Amino acid sequence: MSVQEYLDKHILSRKIEDAVNAAVRAKTPDPVLFISNHMRKAVPSVITKIKARQILDSRGIPTVEVDLYTNKGMFRASAPSGDQTGMYEAMELRDGDKGVYLGNSVKRAVNNINEKISEALIGMDPILQAQIDQAMIDLDKTEKKGELGANAILAVSIAACKAGAAEKEVPLYKHIADLAGKPNLTLPVPSFTVISGGKHAGNNLAIQEIMILPIGASRFEEAVQMGSETYHHLKAVITEKCGAQGCNVGEDGGFAPNVSSFREALDLVKEAISRTGYSEGIKIAIDIAATNFCIGTKYDLDFKSPNKSGQNFKSGEDMIDMYKELCSDYRIVSIEDPFDKEDWEHVKHFSSLGVCQVVGDDLLMSNPKRVERAINESTCNAFLLKVNQIGTVTEAIEVVKLAKDAHWGIVISHRCGETEDTFIADLSVGLGSGQIKAGAPCRGERLAKYNQLLRIEEELGDQAVYVGEDWRLS
């Protein structure tokens, strides 16, 4: 017997003796159950098994799911997915065989978990999130996690985070708050997608989505009600003005009426809000995703139109003038990616005007180096976090801290390829993000996040704080 085995044996014997004595003192009617529970608390959990598989995301495209085991149970997580750009974000690993799922299979990433990551992490304490994430980063050895796959690493990272919360016997959002240095636990303002366009819908609308923010609600539960009611009023408005076919939905659950102009779409939303009676409590946000229609130094607002004349090109200065007018006419409080991801100068100019919150998504890609540059150059004033673009829970927490220290707004975001995993709901509360973007109040994979936030608010009870009017700097 080795020294370590001898010590382990005698430490375990003492813990059993302590458990028996505790059962005697408690005079419990079920000493076996009491001792079992006592031992489970006394013996720290370690990761005992990791099993990965391929599942489908909300678009019907493969993604990675992981079951991570400790002596507290099994903890499941899955990786969301978006349109991979490959330039500045962590790289998800796909098989590339066009004969299987059109090249989108993730069996290589699954095998990397089952054969490599599992071996490296078994025996580790799930509470030690930073050490677990660093072990996977060290194992991968590439800057963008391209060897093992960011989709593989993230799914394991999230599952480990859930296991860590169980080991501490606290809710997931509280464990995340501990990892982040205990920011205030707050319920975020939901940014509900109500109209979809861009690459997320088959209509002619250039911008990617129009969203509503129920900042006037007093509780998250009320915010959900306001969002749902507005969504259904919008369905009626679209049916009246565009016909029932206009109520088909895009990838994020927003309606996709065949409108072509920004104003035409915004007028539909404005009318729906007016019918709810919540006009003062609901603000509008838009995600331009301008990279999708930037051609050289111009922006083609007709890029999706089959009969485009080639006349609807706008310069960066034209876009700024248009945004200023839209913010004034429709009380828009937030614009995401108003310019191309490399058009730093126009983003900076627009942000300096103070017209609204300017959110960096494609501009930043959740990349700490891009965020640092944007902070140093005062390029934008809000950060959109997509956890799969960075690859681990620890790195996500650190980059949010970076943005918060700069007094930016924080938006925790879903992806177009989502699963029923609700991790980002707990993440938004644990980090006190102030804003969450999880799609429409429609489609199960989107509602899963909002429903989890309803449960968290109920669990927090009198301690629950909905940020409401403080959504920008919670």
Which residues are marked as active site?
252, 386
Best CA proximity match to 299, nearest among 359, 343, 348: 343
Do residues 266 and 330 lie in contact, with contact meaning Cβ atoms separated by under 8 Å? Answer: yes
Between the two ends of the chain, the Cα-to-Cα distance in Å is 56
Asked if residue 336 belongs to a known ligand binding site, the reply is yes
Report the alpha-carbon distance of residue 197 to residue 411 in Å, rounded.
20
Please tell me what DSSP assigns to residue 114: I
Report the alpha-carbon distance of residue 191 to residue 320 in Å, rounded.
23
Helices (H), 310-443: 316-330, 344-352, 368-376, 387-390, 393-405, 423-430
Residue 51 makes CB contacts below 8 A (sequence gap 6+) with: 66, 67, 69, 114, 118
> Tokens 């990617």 label which residue?
208
Residue 136 makes CB contacts below 8 A (sequence gap 6+) with: 117, 120, 121, 148, 153, 156, 157, 392
Longest dimension (CA), the chain: 86
Report the alpha-carbon distance of residue 337 to residue 243 in Å, rounded.
31
Asked if residue 229 belongs to a known ligand binding site, the reply is no
Residue 249 backbone phi and psi in degrees, to 5: -115, 155
Do residues 470 and 184 lie in contact, with contact meaning Cβ atoms separated by under 8 Å? Answer: no
Asked if residue 395 belongs to a known ligand binding site, the reply is no
Pick out the residues of the known binding site. 287, 336, 361
Pick out the residues of the known binding site for Mg(2+). 287, 336, 361
